[in-house]
Chains A and B, each alone.
Chain A
Amino acid sequence: MNMDRIEKQVLLRAPRAKVWRALADSQAFGQWFGVKLKGQFAPGARIPGQVLHKGYEQCLFEITIERMEPERLLSWRWHPHAIDPKIDYSAEPTTLVVFELKEVAEGTLLTVVESGFEDIPMARRGEAYRGNEQGWAIQMGAIEKYVGQADETTGAAS
């Protein structure tokens, strides 16, 4: 079993340019990810954000953009699921999230890899576990509604 990385692949029936916008435009990204971000994505940029879900507003959310290769690759670092506002996660190692886009006949093949979990303190994983158990399902339900509305309004622009 691999305890260091999570890898996902999804086929999106949308052109690569549109998928790239949903990933690389911080406002669009925030809409499906469920966070209000300050600032635009650029390599090296530290983007703070506000988690939108009720009960999680106090959580510090920040991603640090690493690489941006238009319509091909976006990567950032963050503290995975840093949900306890009383804990200062800043001294801990981060995980690296990499999105890769590939044009295929049906649309865009997106690969997401989050790696570096083996450097995260074990106790911290316990925290992540607890947070996930209690809140994520509810949070995702809220995001689904929010994105459903946002999709209608942004759909016309693309």
Chain B
Amino acid sequence: MSAKRMRPRAQRPKSTRRQLEKTASIFAALGDENRLRLVARLSADGPLSIARLTEGGSVTRQAVTKHLQVLANVGLACNSRLGRESVWELEPEPFDAARHCLDSISAQWDAALDRLKAFVEP
């Protein structure tokens, strides 16, 4: 890249929009109590089979499978077959997007504290 591009605005909104749509679908998939519980469980103990994910809970095996499928559709989870069992685990990458939200708020604090520093220091 040599000369300064004169039309950066024409490129940026497109990729930003795509990224936002992707992020929105991730949040939508996570916006359900049962699915959040599955994510927490997989995060702590995964990979786990459907049987393990169903045991002890009030949600049916069928419902668990359906919820996992929703998570898989947005790339939050994936499954592989282990013999006759389907084993599920989390995909780490989409969680980075959620992490990114927190990172931006964190960056705001960094900036605000820089302002405070400039405000109080001689």
Contact = CB atoms under 8 A, between A and B. Distances in A.
Interface of A: 1, 3, 6, 8, 10, 12-14, 18-19, 22-23, 28, 31-34, 80-81, 110, 112, 114, 117, 121-123, 125-126, 128-130, 132-133, 136, 140, 143-144, 147-148, 150-151, 155
Contacts of B100: 129
A10 B113 contact: yes
Given A22-B119, A22-B120, A129-B101, 13 more contacts: A1-B95, A3-B99, A12-B116, A12-B120, A19-B116, A32-B116, A33-B115, A34-B115, A81-B108, A110-B116, A112-B113, A117-B102, A128-B104
A126 B102 contact: no
Interface of B: 16, 20, 23-24, 27-28, 30-31, 95, 98-102, 104-113, 115-122
A144 B116 CA distance: 10
Given A10-B113, A13-B122, A112-B109, A122 B104 contact: no
Contact of B116 (A22, A132, A136): A22
Contacts of A13: 121-122
B28, B110, B113 — which one has the most chain A CB atoms within 10 A of its CB?
B113
Contact of B117 (A12, A121, A122): A12
A122 B99 CA distance: 11
Contacts of A136: 104, 107-108, 111
30 contacts: A1-B99, A3-B102, A6-B102, A10-B116, A12-B117, A13-B121, A13-B122, A14-B120, A22-B116, A22-B119, A32-B118, A32-B119, A112-B109, A122-B27, A123-B28, A123-B31, A125-B98, A126-B24, A128-B101, A129-B100, A129-B104, A133-B20, A136-B111, A140-B111, A140-B115, A143-B111, A147-B115, A147-B118, A148-B118, A151-B119
